[in-house]
Amino acid sequence: MYSDKTFKVTSNSATKVGTTTRKIRKAQAPSSKMIGIEYDDYSSFAKVRLPEIPTTGNEMKEASCVAPTSPEGRKSQNIYHTRTPSLKRKNDEILAAELQRNTRSFENFHQDDFNNISSKRATICGSSLRRFSSIRSNQSDSFERVTKHLPPKTKLTSSELEVMNLRNEILRAKIELYIKEQIETLNNPMQFQDDVPDIEYEKDQLIDDYDAKEHTAYKEAHMAEIKDSLMSIRQYCEAMQAKNANLNSEVNHYKKDLGPSSDDISRPHKKTVKNHKFIDKKQEKLRPRRNINENRGNIKVFCRVRPPVLSECEDIADIRFPPYSYNKKISLASIKRNYWGVERETSKEYKFDKVFGASATQEEIYNNVAPIVQSVVDGFNGCIFAYGQTCSGKTYTMQGPQDPTIYNEGMIPRAVRQIFEHVDDLKTKGWEYEIEGQFIEIYNDSIRDLLSDDPSNHHGLKFRTIHDEITGTTMVNKAKTVNLDSVATLNWVLQMAAKNRAVASTKSNANSSRSHSIFMIRLMGTNTVTNESRIGTLNLVDLAGSERLSKSGSQGDQLLEARYINSSLSHLKTVIKGIKGKSEHINFRNSTLTWLLKNSLGDKSKVLMFVHISPLGSSRAETESSLEFAHLVNSA
């Protein structure tokens, strides 16, 4: 059983009320008769639960507390309990004793505690003071620092403004002066005069470097060319060695055939005049056979690009002449589209024995073929033929333009004149020559005589090609043979041939030759002193221009002509491929053209194929085809 007592608590401050109340509780707690205490801060009433003790009802309703500030102060704390008088005394005594005991222990307890707290407080205060003074000193430092870098006052005094303006003026003047100086420096080149030698030196060094690099590049390219040439020379040497071995075995074979006089034949300079005729005849027989092996498959290829005329200048093909190729290469560039339509430049290069650009003159061309003409006078066979598409300049190369001058006349008049000159020179050495010529054309696979007096009649004649296997010469029987004894006769021959040649207009060439023309020159020389004799033939062939039938727009007779032309050219290609490939069996009889050129093309002749190229972009396909064929002839 217990009873609750309520006390009114008064205090100086709310916080201390709580503290005081707790002190009361502590003071009461040791009493076994006190069960608990509750304090309500807001109402300032403390409720103390005590054991059940009969009361008079005269309870103490109020407790006055003054918050103790020191142990002494605590002594003034009074708690009054009103009880019944009988018990009050006893109770008071118990309480007083208890209070005294408790107060003592409280004081003892709190004296230590207080000392501790005081020392701690002193420590804390000391450290707080130190911290405070350090913060203050830091603050003053920071303040000083900050004030130093404070932005200018937003409001300036008039004197400050004046100073500022003056400073600005000075700054502006300085900038203007600097700019002026810079401009003056730039405008005055003399300022850099001292630098000029250095710059010149640097420039010279750069030029030297560039020259050195260019020289190296040139040398490299040159070396590559030389290596290329050496390689082909080596191949040529190997081929020649093989041929030489063949020749040696052949010579031995003939020596056996000739029996005891074979030694004489091999040393003609030791022969007596009596034997000379016999040996000469034998040699004549041997010579063509020797030529067979020397020249077999040895077809040289030259390439010539015709210059464009004014009206063609908008359609020019991209034909290039690679540098450092020593006029031996030509390349054909074109733009090709791939599957996705992306354009790409492609270029194909072809190598020939000689390449002549559009600026090459007739004289330059002839100088390169003159050795073949020369060899004909010396008793060899030669054949030069012009190959190429229509309007590529074949007739121009072979005969020259329609009204030729001494500068632009073609290969035929130049060749005949050279022969005349050479024959004249040889007269002093006892040589006398007969020069005769036939000029024929092959039109629709039939032979026609271009020197016939009656051109309307000559179609009925049946011409026949006769090959002399021993001398390696060819003749067309029943065709007019002219004795070429003067330039006048030559001119007449050329005029007659030009007049009679089958010429028809095609879409590409208003004066297109629709036939293959062949000028056959035969030279028979005898030496009155040595009784030697020589026979040489020169065939100058101007082939008809190849053309794609779809492109030419040919119809009727012209279509037939075109078919014959293309077919005979195709047979010619096959024969040349066979010769170059050293084929065992070559069928010359497939066309009149190849049969007529049998001796001129193969075994017994020095052959030069002159491939002609049109400069036009629209002729690109034909150009490529001509170059491909010529390349094959040259490389096989």
Ligand X SMILES: Nc1ncnc2c1ncn2[C@@H]1O[C@H](COP(=O)(O)OP(=O)(O)OP(=O)(O)O)[C@@H](O)[C@H]1O
- Told to check if 347 binds ligand X by CB under 6 A, we report no
Query: Which CB atom, from 438 or from 619, has the smaller least distance to ligand X?
Result: 619
Query: Which CB atom, from 235 or from 511, has the smaller least distance to ligand X?
Result: 511
Minimum CB distance to ligand X, residue 361 (Å): 8
- Told to check if 413 binds ligand X by CB under 6 A, we report no
**Amino acid at site 66:** V
Among all residues, whose Cβ is closest to ligand X?
Answer: 545
Query: Which CB atom, from 81 or from 501, has the smaller least distance to ligand X?
Result: 501
Distance CA 594, CA 571 (A): 7
Minimum CB distance to ligand X, residue 561 (Å): 11
Q: Taking contact as CB under 6 A, which single stretch among the options 117-125, 220-228, 235-243, 394-402 is the one that binds ligand X?
A: 394-402
Minimum CB distance to ligand X, residue 318 (Å): 19
> First vs last Cα of the chain: how many Å apart?
140
| Residue among 119, 505, 511, 635 that touches ligand X (CB under 6 A) | 511
> In the window 265-324, what residues touch ligand X (CB under 6 A)?
306-307
> Can you list the positions of beta strands (E) in 195-328?
299-305, 318-320
- Told to check if 515 binds ligand X by CB under 6 A, we report no
| Residue among 291, 325, 381, 395 that touches ligand X (CB under 6 A) | 395
Distance CA 388, CA 630 (A): 9
- Told to check if 626 binds ligand X by CB under 6 A, we report no
Secondary structure (DSSP) of 527-543: ETTT--EEEEEEEEEEP
CB 567 within 8 Å of CB 546:
no
Q: What is the DSSP letter of 260?
A: G
Distance CA 466, CA 251 (A): 28
349: phi then psi, degrees, rounded to nearest 5: -110, 140
Q: Which helix (H) or strand (E) holds 25?
A: helix 14-28
Query: Which CB atom, from 360 or from 419, has the smaller least distance to ligand X?
Result: 360
Contacts 24+ apart (CB under 8 A), 248-257: 250/289, 250/293, 254/286
Q: Which of 254, 236, 368 has its CA nearest to residue 298? A: 236
Query: Which CB atom, from 385 or from 431, has the smaller least distance to ligand X?
Result: 385
| Residue among 452, 509, 539, 592 that touches ligand X (CB under 6 A) | 509
| Residue among 21, 325, 512, 599 that touches ligand X (CB under 6 A) | 512
Minimum CB distance to ligand X, residue 391 (Å): 5
- The 10 Å Cβ neighbour count of residue 336 is 9
Minimum CB distance to ligand X, residue 499 (Å): 15
Query: Which CB atom, from 392 or from 605, has the smaller least distance to ligand X?
Result: 392
Minimum CB distance to ligand X, residue 320 (Å): 18
Minimum CB distance to ligand X, residue 578 (Å): 25
- Within 34-157, residue ranges assigned H as helices are 71-75, 85-148
- Told to check if 568 binds ligand X by CB under 6 A, we report no
| Residue among 392, 592, 599, 600 that touches ligand X (CB under 6 A) | 392
- Told to check if 391 binds ligand X by CB under 6 A, we report yes
- Told to check if 501 binds ligand X by CB under 6 A, we report no
CB 604 within 8 Å of CB 379:
no
Query: Which CB atom, from 204 or from 364, has the smaller least distance to ligand X?
Result: 364
| Residue among 382, 393, 413, 615 that touches ligand X (CB under 6 A) | 393
> In the window 141-200, what residues touch ligand X (CB under 6 A)?
none
Which residues have CB under 8 Å from 268's CB, separation 6+? 276, 279, 283
Which residues have CB under 8 Å from 329's CB, separation 6+? 321, 322, 349, 350, 351, 352, 355
- Told to check if 593 binds ligand X by CB under 6 A, we report no
Secondary structure (DSSP) of 143-187: HHHHHHTPPPPSS--HHHHHHHHHHHHHHHHHHHHHHHHHHHHHH
Q: What is the CA radius of gyration of the chain?
A: 65
Structure tokens at 123: 């420590």
Q: Which helix (H) or strand (E) holds 24?
A: helix 14-28
| Residue among 396, 431, 443, 588 that touches ligand X (CB under 6 A) | 396
Q: Taking contact as CB under 6 A, which single stretch among the options 59-67, 216-224, 392-400, 487-495 is the one that binds ligand X?
A: 392-400
| Residue among 291, 325, 513, 515 that touches ligand X (CB under 6 A) | 513
Structure tokens at 195: 């630098």
Query: Which CB atom, from 24 or from 611, has the smaller least distance to ligand X?
Result: 611
Q: Taking contact as CB under 6 A, which single stretch among the options 119-127, 511-519, 569-577, 621-629 is the one that binds ligand X?
A: 511-519
Q: What is the DSSP letter of 544?
A: P
Minimum CB distance to ligand X, residue 383 (Å): 18
Minimum CB distance to ligand X, residue 205 (Å): 47
- Told to check if 474 binds ligand X by CB under 6 A, we report no
- Within 259-393, residue ranges assigned H as helices are 262-266, 273-295, 362-377
Beta bridge partners of 516: 442
CA atoms within 13 A on the CB side of 80: 11
Map residues 528-567 to x or -, x wherever contact with ligand X holds by CB under 6 A: ----------------xx----------------------
Report the DSSP pairing between strands 431-443 and 516-527: antiparallel
Minimum CB distance to ligand X, residue 396 (Å): 4
Q: Taking contact as CB under 6 A, which single stretch among the options 14-22, 140-148, 423-431, 510-518 is the one that binds ligand X?
A: 510-518
Minimum CB distance to ligand X, residue 402 (Å): 7
Distance CA 607, CA 522 (A): 16
Distance CA 385, CA 520 (A): 12
Count of residues binding ligand X (CB under 6 A)? 18
Q: Taking contact as CB under 6 A, which single stretch among the options 126-134, 387-395, 523-531, 583-591 is the one that binds ligand X?
A: 387-395
Q: Taking contact as CB under 6 A, which single stretch among the options 175-183, 205-213, 383-391, 454-462 is the one that binds ligand X?
A: 383-391
Minimum CB distance to ligand X, residue 509 (Å): 4
Distance CA 113, CA 119 (A): 10
Which residues contribute to the site for ligand X (CB under 6 A)?
Answer: 306-307, 388, 390-396, 401, 509, 511-513, 544-545, 612
